[in-house]
């Protein structure tokens, strides 16, 4: 933490250099993701991440100094005080803010988000998260002109608003019936980006001429073929 001289004021925009610093280490990204879900101590994080306590504690202190997390509780533990942290709400990024943000800030946020998506989707899949009949996974590539791009972007924004409305209503029902066995955590990921062609990707050294491996046929891939 030596040499770290930043304000403890919360980050409110994507161009804040503290955001880039906070997301510059993959372990900090994983810590942030967990602290967005629930309050945890460095001891608990260390066990769940299978990482050294000293390393985890350092990154938690860094995130605290950067204004990304806050201490919310303490308790006595084996003659010492255990500190519990929770992540602060992330800055909302408007279309205008994203358009004018520095490339480094964009890459930091994109990289952190993709890592969290991968971690959560992979873990959820391993625990049957996609086994429900009404679960959904789709990858679609489309050729769009300017009008089509704008229409798709608008449709996705409308879907997010609908999702927020659905969640708000569900929270009221859950509060009224907290022991309802149908309550489950839902994951929703939306991506809309200019897609590069996978076929244009150059093989890494040692892969040229190698025979491609056939991917195992899962239920999800079978249903989409």
How would DSSP label each residue in 122-166? HHHHHTTTT-STT-----------HHHHHHHHHHHHHHHHHHHHH
Q: Give me the mean pLDDT over the 13-39 stretch.
A: 81
Distance, CA of 43 to CA of 57 (rounded, Å): 8
Choice among 88-102, 110-124, 203-217 with the minimum mean pLDDT:
203-217
Instruction: Look at residue 209 in the predicted model and tell me its pLDDT.
Output: 52
Choice among 5-14, 57-66, 69-78 with the minimum mean pLDDT:
5-14
115 against 89, higher pLDDT: 115
Would you place residue 221 in the very low, low, confident or very high pLDDT band (cuts 50, 70, 90)? very low
Q: Where are the alpha helices (DSSP H) in the chain?
A: 17-22, 26-37, 42-49, 53-65, 95-100, 103-126, 146-176, 219-224
Q: What is the pLDDT of residues 166-207, one digit of tens each?
A: 999 999 999 999 999 999 989 888 888 888 877 777 766 655
97 against 187, higher pLDDT: 187
Given a cut of 50, whether residue 218 has pLDDT beyond it is no
Would you place residue 88 in the very low, low, confident or very high pLDDT band (cuts 50, 70, 90)? confident
Q: What is the pLDDT of residues 203-216, one digit of tens each?
A: 666 555 555 554 44
Helix axis angle for 53-65 and 26-37, nearest 10°, is 80
Would you place residue 57 in the very low, low, confident or very high pLDDT band (cuts 50, 70, 90)? very high
């Amino acid at each position: 933490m030596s040499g770290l001289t930043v304000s403890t004021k919360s980050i409110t925009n994507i161009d804040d250099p503290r955001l880039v610093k906070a997301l510059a280490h993959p372990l900090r990204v994983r810590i942030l993701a967990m602290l967005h879900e629930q309050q945890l101590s460095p001891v608990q994080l260390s066990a769940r991440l299978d990482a050294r306590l000293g390393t985890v504690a350092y990154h938690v202190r860094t995130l605290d100094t950067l204004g990304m997390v806050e201490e919310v509780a303490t308790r006595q533990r084996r003659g010492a005080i255990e500190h519990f942290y929770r992540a602060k709400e992330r800055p909302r990024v408007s279309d205008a803010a994203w358009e004018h943000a520095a490339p480094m800030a964009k890459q930091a946020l994109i990289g952190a988000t993709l890592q969290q998506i991968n971690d959560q989707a992979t873990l959820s899949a391993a625990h049957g998260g996609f086994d429900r009949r009404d679960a959904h996974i789709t990858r679609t590539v489309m050729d769009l002109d300017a009008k089509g791009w704008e229409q798709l972007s608008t449709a996705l924004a409308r879907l997010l608003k609908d999702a927020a409305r659905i969640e708000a209503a569900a929270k009221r029902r859950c509060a009224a019936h907290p022991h309802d066995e149908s309550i489950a955590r839902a994951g929703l990921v939306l991506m809309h980006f200019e897609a590069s062609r996978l076929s244009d990707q150059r093989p890494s050294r040692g892969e040229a001429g190698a025979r491609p491996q056939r991917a195992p046929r899962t239920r999800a891939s079978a249903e989409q073929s």
